[in-house]
Structure 1
């Protein structure tokens, strides 16, 4: 099957690729309940050496920059407590950690979570973290531009492979809050 975006000629429904996904992502796909059928979540096999957005877009086409999203783990601190959340923004933007994220989490200070915390808490690989399969108790902050994009290319939980997902899907994920301006320039 040809993917709806990018130059991927071998896109497969994610439920047919559970063995290629990390455990939390496979579990989320297996128990999928969104308004978009799980079969519309597509898996494309990609080279893990080019998982980082800039290199990936260079190889697969600049138009993907407007259709790709990054999922990052952030830590919000207030008093002596730290809470984790995930943010999804289009790849051409940066997460507004010190503004939108800090305010939404009610944190005094917010920053990107350390890599070992992000990977350890998600069960996913750095460079492949995806909002599908995150801990259900985490806030998931989604930039409105992501939810408004017809199809979005996002990590699959590992550096090998990507998921192509209808943008509206992100607004339905557990803990999702759609925010205008989460992704700044």
Structure 2
């Protein structure tokens, strides 16, 4: 089992040993991946939001990545994508993502729709286990990160992964400039 420097005060388990913490689509997807690049930690669901998690468990904010579900329409067709950016940045929804989806306007998908389509809890949505036809847009800074904390599809834990693993996900596209600094 790999040692994770970003785990803070948490005990890390191989993700395949704690599938009880994972949303079903996440568990299925992890079963097909290199599990030496993924660990799981159990957390208080009330501390799942990134800033609260980092404060409570002494994990660096700079090693956290957030996954957002974005949608837009073109010719009556709704197009979805997931965007993964460092927690210290924000996704360029109406620039890079809008162009990539080839839509007139892109926005965050409504919470209930994102939850229903992903099979994951809001605040825990992760790029691992998303619908197969969705592009997974990954900021280059995320892909280049040696260690990251991301959601597990529920609010009761976090996945510790490498940027390399995320960049290798089916449908993943690494994009320079996908994220902008938070101003």
State the distance in 2 between where 1:73 and 1:50 align: 21
Contact 1:140–1:176, Cα closer than 8 Å, also in 2: yes
The Cα offsets for residues 60-93 of structure 1, whole Å up to 9 and x where unpaired, read as 23x6111000001000211211111100000011
- Unaligned 5+ segments in structure 2 are none
Residues paired across the two proteins, number: 180
Runs of 4 or more, structure 1, over 6 Å off, are none
Of the three residues 85, 93, 98, the one matched with 1:97 is 93
TM-fit CA distance, 1:40: 2.6
Q: Which residue of 1 aligns with 2:149?
A: 153
- Unaligned 5+ segments in structure 1 are none
- Superposition pairs of residues 130-141 of structure 1, within 5 angstroms: 130-141=126-137
Helix, strand or coil at the partner of 1:103: helix
Q: CA RMSD in A?
A: 1.3
Q: Which residue of 1 aligns with 2:29?
A: 28
Q: What is the TM-score when the length of structure 2 is the normalising length?
A: 0.94
State the distance in 2 between where 1:18 and 1:9 align: 17
Contact 2:4–2:147, Cα closer than 8 Å, also in 1: no
Q: What is the TM-score when the length of structure 1 is the normalising length?
A: 0.93
- Which of 121-130 and 13-22 deviates more? 13-22
Within the alignment, does 1:40 sit opposite 2:43 as a pair?
A: no
Contact 2:37–2:165, Cα closer than 8 Å, also in 1: no
State the distance in 1 between where 2:9 and 2:161 align: 14
State the distance in 2 between where 1:41 and 1:180 align: 24
